[in-house]
């Protein structure tokens, strides 16, 4: 029981912390420019994951990576680290924190649609149904927000589109671990947004607000990412993602409790539709015979799956680790998602 309890707790705490970022940011926006706040939050995220990177002695310098990894990392920094959070905070300035929390589920819609149309991932009928349900829920919320709803949901939707690209870019990076990507993205994007915001507004805010923003970034993004990685290592990617998908609902709850925002019937209906859509998505069991071509690459991995059976000398196999390794040609069948090792074509809607 102890083996599965800690990853479960880590996953839930990760979702709570990430969900808390939205109401915390809403409170901070009262005393700081949106772009400056975006920069401070991501600098805080970098500080939050720095102990993990240092502890694992994994401070990889990205400029020493190959050209493909650098391009993907730059895309993640520009879209996911600079534009995404800035657009989100602009939308958060004019909408309630609870609604914005639920709108963040549009990141899932953007990710799956980009995966299907741009990155050639397979999307089943359940995936389409879940994406459609989430989109309908977002439109209901926009209607419930009144005249500002269209503008605010548009800003959040564009932010989620940026993060959708970011998710795919990050998934394709095989030279850096998730914590390393978070560190470098937080540092680079944080400094860019901080500089741009300070230049535009002429100030960066009171020292108390700055410290609070850095703490929110470190805890709600940095620590949350660290706990999510811990959960994924213990429960697997699918189960941990199911736990993490509850983050927007925690954001809504915390907005009602701490910001004293009203809980509307439209929000309740939207939350119900979104929850049902996610349940349908994660009930999917995708399995068929597929082929893997030989590959030689580097990325963080565990030996609890069916793709990493190589041997090691003095490397802990039960922990996530990263190094160059080779995959041989193989044909097999197992349940899978469109991850780094499963971006193959499909001949039917399996």
User: pLDDT at position 1, please?
Assistant: 37
User: pLDDT at position 350, please?
Assistant: 46
Q: Is residue 315 part of a domain?
A: no
Q: Is residue 338 part of a domain?
A: no
User: pLDDT at position 79, please?
Assistant: 97
* 3-state SS, residue 198: helix
Q: Is residue 197 part of a domain?
A: yes
Total of domains in the chain: 1
Binned at pLDDT 50, 70 and 90, residue 175 comes out as: confident
Q: Is pLDDT at 345 greater than 80 in this prediction?
A: no
Binned at pLDDT 50, 70 and 90, residue 107 comes out as: very high
Phi, psi (deg, nearest 5) at residue 289? -70, 130
Binned at pLDDT 50, 70 and 90, residue 349 comes out as: very low
User: pLDDT at position 187, please?
Assistant: 96
Binned at pLDDT 50, 70 and 90, residue 77 comes out as: very high
Burial class (CB in 10 A: 0-12, 13-18, 19+), 25: buried
Distances (CA, A) of 135 to 88, 129, 293: 17, 10, 36
* 3-state SS, residue 178: helix
Q: Is residue 325 part of a domain?
A: no
Q: Is residue 65 part of a domain?
A: yes
User: pLDDT tens digits, residue range 18-61?
Assistant: 999 999 999 999 999 999 999 999 999 999 999 888 877 656 67
Q: Is residue 339 part of a domain?
A: no
Q: Is pLDDT at 286 greater than 80 in this prediction?
A: no
Instruction: Specify whether the CB–CB gap between 336 and 121 falls below 8 A.
Output: no
Q: Is residue 264 part of a domain?
A: yes
User: pLDDT tens digits, residue range 255-277?
Assistant: 999 999 999 999 999 999 999 99
Q: Is residue 187 part of a domain?
A: yes
State which residues form the domain around 77.
Answer: 2-286
Name the residue among 319, 244, 234, 226 with its Cα closest to residue 1.
Answer: 234
User: pLDDT at position 329, please?
Assistant: 75
């Amino acid at each position: 029981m102890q083996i599965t309890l800690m990853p479960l707790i880590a996953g839930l705490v990760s979702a709570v912390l990430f969900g808390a970022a939205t109401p915390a940011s809403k409170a901070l926006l009262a005393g700081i420019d949106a772009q400056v706040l975006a920069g401070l939050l991501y600098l805080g995220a970098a500080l939050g994951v720095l102990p993990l990177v240092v502890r694992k002695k994994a401070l990889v310098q990205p400029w020493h990576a190959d050209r493909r990894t650098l391009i993907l990392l730059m895309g993640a920094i520009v879209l996911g680290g600079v534009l995404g959070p800035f657009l989100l905070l602009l939308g958060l300035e004019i909408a309630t924190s609870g609604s914005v929390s639920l709108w963040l589920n549009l990141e899932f819609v953007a990710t799956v649609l980009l995966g299907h149309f741009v990155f050639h991932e397979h999307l089943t009928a359940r995936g389409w149904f879940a994406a459609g349900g989430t989109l309908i829920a977002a439109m209901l919320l926009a209607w419930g927000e009144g005249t500002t709803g269209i503008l605010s949901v548009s800003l959040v939707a564009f932010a989620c589109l940026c993060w959708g690209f970011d998710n795919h870019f990050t998934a394709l990076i095989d030279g850096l671990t998730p914590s390393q990507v978070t560190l470098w993205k937080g540092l680079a994007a944080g400094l860019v947004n901080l500089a741009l915001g300070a230049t535009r507004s002429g100030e960066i805010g009171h020292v108390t607000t700055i410290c609070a923003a850095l703490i929110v970034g470190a805890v709600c993004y940095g620590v949350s990412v660290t706990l999510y990685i811990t959960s994924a290592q213990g429960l697997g990617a699918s189960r941990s993602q199911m736990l993490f998908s509850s983050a927007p609902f925690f954001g809504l709850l915390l907005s009602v409790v701490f910001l004293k925002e009203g809980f509307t019937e439209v929000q309740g209906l939207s939350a119900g539709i979104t929850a049902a859509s996610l349940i349908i998505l994660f009930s999917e069991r995708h399995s068929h015979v597929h082929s893997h071509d030989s590959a030689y690459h580097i990325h963080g991995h565990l030996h609890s799956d069916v793709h990493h059976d190589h041997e090691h000398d003095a490397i802990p196999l039960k922990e996530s680790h990263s190094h160059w390794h080779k995959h041989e040609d193989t044909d097999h069948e197992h349940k899978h998602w469109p991850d780094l090792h499963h971006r193959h074509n499909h001949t039917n809607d399996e």
